Structure 1
Amino acid sequence: MKAWVEEELKFLDLGDKRLNTRLEKMLSELSEHPHETVPQAIEKPSDVQATYEFWENRHVKAEKIIEAHKKATIEKIAGEKVVLAVQDTTELEFPPKKGRRGLGSISKQGAEGLKVHNVLAVSGEGIPYGLLKQKVWARAKVRKGKGYVERKRKIEEKESFRWIESLREVQEAIPEDIELITVCDREGDIFELLAEPLREGAHLLIRAAQNRRVKTEEEIDKLFSKLEKLESMAEIAIKLRRTPRRKPRIARLQVKWTSVEIQPPLNKPEYQQMQSMKINAIVAEEIQAPKGEKAVKWVLLTTLAVNNLADAQKVLKYYTYRWLIERFHYVLKTGCGIEKLMLDKGERLEKALATYSIIASRILWLKYCAVEMPDEPADIALEEEEWQVLYCVITKKKELPSEIPTIYECVRWIGRLGGFMCRKGDGEPGVQTLWKGWQRLSDYLKMWIIIKEMQDFIRV
């Protein structure tokens, strides 16, 4: 059993020790070849069948798998001073399958799948530790003309309540000695979320989507109009990570900030019973984007203090970490092939999703350990046999080094196994390269274990 699997599932309680043991075995084997199908990733046909039976077992609940992972994640962040709870929603589209039940409509017309809302724990220095919450649902098909009716429903009855629900649960779960910052993209710009009570040491950081009414000294103005009138206060350089829509680059941004008093919306009577709220706003606009790239412009609303340029830079740095949850979803879909599963019930797919979410979070964590903690020894992430085999394969040496290689060196070596060239200007290996390299390392490790066992047998 892999040590990281034991740590990850130390809080697991499925009500039966045999079920706990089965999930541990599944995680160990599936994590070695996450991109492969279940029959390809797991060697024994009996174990393949047992994996499918595990996901079919009505006593196994996806919530309990995620709960164990959540507790392990909270234990990992115990020493952090600042933790970002990054929220985002994604859709899983599954191919048509006769008899498949439990799926719902998604954004793509005619397609069926599941909606998934995740909350990813990220350190103040950009290390993704794992999930704090995962909510999965099948959306009922919406008839034309129901949009107005949907808008008139209470927030607790809407899908958008997931943002508030997640904030409440995470606030309660994270120790109060940790500064907690909930980070959301424009979809999270909901008045009820902005108005949600925050515990001491908790904050919001949300990209604005709504041109809300704000109170000025003389009149009620619109948020974007007020911010547009501000003069630029500073220019800063910020590192933009790779996304599906842009290449990584250093962007020069004009930055300005102010405090605003947001007024309740006028479209519902119940809003009028709510108080206006003071919040800080930051505008960051790229001065000159490279040819072919869209200039970055963020309007951010935050309860964090923004009194000077240093405060604004810190808030902008935190917001750049929001894209980590997009990378998490990318690893789930492309690296773990979650949408290729042919299970015939939504409930079974949800259990498989919970299983692969643990694997995806580890792949992402390994990648950013190398980025943010490059000089740490490799054994913070790799088991002894893993880094030793990796060292011998890459260096072509039989003797092990006197010191453990760094995590930065090992991650680049894993990248080399996955096709990373390590040339000047290549940057760092991406998550896709890493999971390919990890599969090759797993194969080398199995062969190394077989040879070692044969040598021991011959000596006897």
Structure 2
Amino acid sequence: MPFFLEPHWASTQERMRSQSVVLCIQDTTELDFNGQDIDGLGPLNYEARRGLYLHPTYAVTTEREPLGVLDAWMWAREELDADGVRPGPKESTRWIEGYERVAEMAPDMPHTRLVYVADREADMVEMMRRAHELGTPADWLVRAQHDRCLPGGDGARLWASTTSAEPLGEITFMTGARETQKSRTVRQQLWAREVEIVDGERGKLKVHCVIAREVGAPAGIKPIEWRLLTNRAVATQEDAVELINWYRARWEIEIYFHVLKNGCEVETLQLAAVDRIERALALFLVVAWRVTYLMRKGRTCPDLDAALFFDPDEIRGAHLLAKKKMPTPPPTVNEVVRLIAQIGGFLGRKSDGEPGAKTIWRGLDQVLAAADTLRALRDGLG
């Protein structure tokens, strides 16, 4: 990644040091530039679709506050060769490298527990073995996709073995509304078990499996079931609930991708070559984090002083663009976020709720330019 991301990485790590636990979430997303004349693009999930892949590590607190981006890989896939094989390094190695980068940070944060969190693609024994080889300086928590045969020769499988005992207890939470599904209450039974799995090198690894299975799902709705693997011991219901809540926080990287693609609209970038796209994306990684951070703070801590999140020129620039007088007392973060969104096209009617990523970004872009102008005028006037 470009060197100018280093200040953001350093600031992210500084924010992490103030937390007792930080979730380091990894995932991969497609960036679709199909139809654009950009040198260096590669195929996506279909050979005819053209674009790039992005694989960041996104740090959040256990309360889901975004702390920033820790690193990111961007690449274009190579074309299939005559035998239908794709040249180049295996994309799966990025999950292992991702854990290694998180593990490298752990010694510099002795008072912060780092937890590597990932979805099914990271269910690789190679990643677990690598963590074990390094001494597991960072915990890991991944969603399982393989119902492994367990050693012992009796044909026992991972998932059935885990749920063969009595449940540890239950967890209840609300799901967010998504597309055609409304928000609803979910109740899951919890099981956990320590098991040994083969490590791919004629050895065995001890891991802990947690299964959360929904009970009483509404008619016509597929029950939610999660099967997780971790290095952490799970002895009680509280242990299992903590891990489930950490896994649920993985949704934050999906929100981040949504902001990046739909708020910042990075897939509409019109640049001539991939190296220019990569430099622009590096900047937008930081912008998308700030938009996500402001969006969350504006909703969860609306009455905090805006000066904690904006510099004075940004606050003044927002009021100038909106043709509003600076208020007394100073504005709250929610008031400034809504003002910025209104500059970006948010109507702010009672029925509109809180502003989304697109209007916040469009307004923030104008506010940042206004703030730069105010600074230039002040400096020019001496």
- Count residues in correspondence: 373
- Do the aligned partners of 2:170 and 2:237 also contact (CA within 8 Å) in 1? no
Q: What displacement does 1:389 show?
A: 6.4
Q: Which residue of 2 aligns with 1:419?
A: 346
The residue that corresponds to 1:434 in the other structure is 360
Correspondence for 2:156: 221
- What corresponds to 1:207 in structure 2? 143
Listed one character per residue, the Cα deviations across residues 297-334 of structure 1 (whole Å, up to 9, x for unaligned) are 11111122321111111111111111111111111111
CA-to-partner distance for each residue in 1:163-220, whole Å, 9 max, x for gaps?
A: 111111222134241201000000111110111235565101000011112247x834
Q: Give the Cα–Cα distance (whole angstroms) in 1 for the partners of residues 363 and 221 of structure 2.
A: 30
Q: Which residue of 1 aligns with 2:282?
A: 354
The 3 A distance-change label for structure 1 pair 71 and 276 is same
Q: Aligned partners of 1:285, 1:415: CA distance in 2, in Å? A: 40
Q: For CA contacts below 8 A with separation 6 or more, give which structure has more relative contact order.
A: 1
C-alpha separation in 2, matches of 1:117 and 1:201: 22
Quote the offset at 1:441 in angstroms: 5.7
Change in Cα spacing, 1:230 to 1:435, as seen in structure 2 (3 Å) is farther
Residues 189 and 434 from structure 1, CA distance in 2 versus in 1: closer, same or farther, beyond 3 angstroms? same
**Counterpart selection for 2:91 from 146, 159, 169:** 159
Distance 1:251 1:423 in 2: 29
Written as runs of structure 1 = structure 2, the 5 A alignment for 1:300-311 is 300-311=228-239
1:409 is displaced (CA, Å) by 4.7
The alpha-carbon distance between structure 1 residues 415 and 294, as it changes in their structure 2 partners (threshold 3 A), is farther
Q: Does the 8 A contact of 2:194 with 2:233 survive in 1?
A: no
Report the Cα offset of residue 75 of structure 1. 2.0
Aligned residue number for residue 169 of structure 1: 101
Q: Secondary structure at the match of 1:167?
A: helix
How far has the Cα of 1:240 moved from its partner? 2.8
In 2: Cα distance, 1:83 partner to 1:411 partner: 26
Matched-pair identity in %: 32
Q: Quote the residue 1:87 is aligned against.
A: 26
How big is the alpha-carbon RMSD for the aligned residues of Structure 1 and Structure 2? 3.4
Shift of the 169–412 alpha-carbon distance from structure 1 to 2, 3 Å rule, reads same
TM-score under structure 1 normalisation?
A: 0.71
What is the distance in 2 between the residues matched to 1:242 and 1:414? 25
Q: Which residue of 2 aligns with 1:25?
A: none
How do 1:24-423 residues align onto structure 2 when only pairs under 5 Å count?
Answer: 62-98=1-37, 100-143=38-81, 146=84, 157-174=89-106, 175-177=108-110, 178-197=112-131, 198-199=134-135, 201-215=137-151, 219-243=154-178, 246-264=181-199, 271-273=200-202, 275-290=203-218, 293-387=221-315, 398=325, 400-402=327-329, 404-412=330-338, 414=340, 418-419=345-346, 421=348, 423=350
Q: 1:240 is matched by which residue type in structure 2?
A: T
Deviates more, 1:379-388 or 1:177-186: 379-388
**Inter-partner Cα distance in structure 1 for 2:274 and 2:299:** 36
Q: Kindly state the Cα deviation for residue 251 of structure 1 after the two structures are TM-superposed.
A: 2.1
Query: In structure 1, how many angstroms separate the alpha carbons of the residues matched to 2:123 and 2:239?
Result: 22
Taking the aligned partners of 1:440 and 1:245, their CA distance within structure 2 comes to 34
Q: CA deviation at 1:432?
A: 3.4
CA distance in 2: counterparts of 1:399 and 1:104, whole angstroms: 50
In 1, distance between residues paired with 2:274 and 2:143?
32
Q: Tell me the TM-score normalised to structure 2 length.
A: 0.84
Q: Which runs of 5+ in 1 are unaligned?
A: 1-61, 151-155, 265-270
| Shift in Å, 1:114 | 1.1
* CA displacement 1:364-421 (0-9 Å, x = unmatched): 1212234554553222212224445667999x9746223x444345445555665365
Write the letter of the residue equivalent to 2:172.
A
Q: Which runs of 5+ in 2 are unaligned?
A: none
SS at match of 2:150: strand
SS at match of 2:46: coil
Cα distance 1:374–1:137, how it changes in 2: closer, same or farther (>3 A)? Answer: same
State the secondary structure of the residue aligned to 1:343. coil
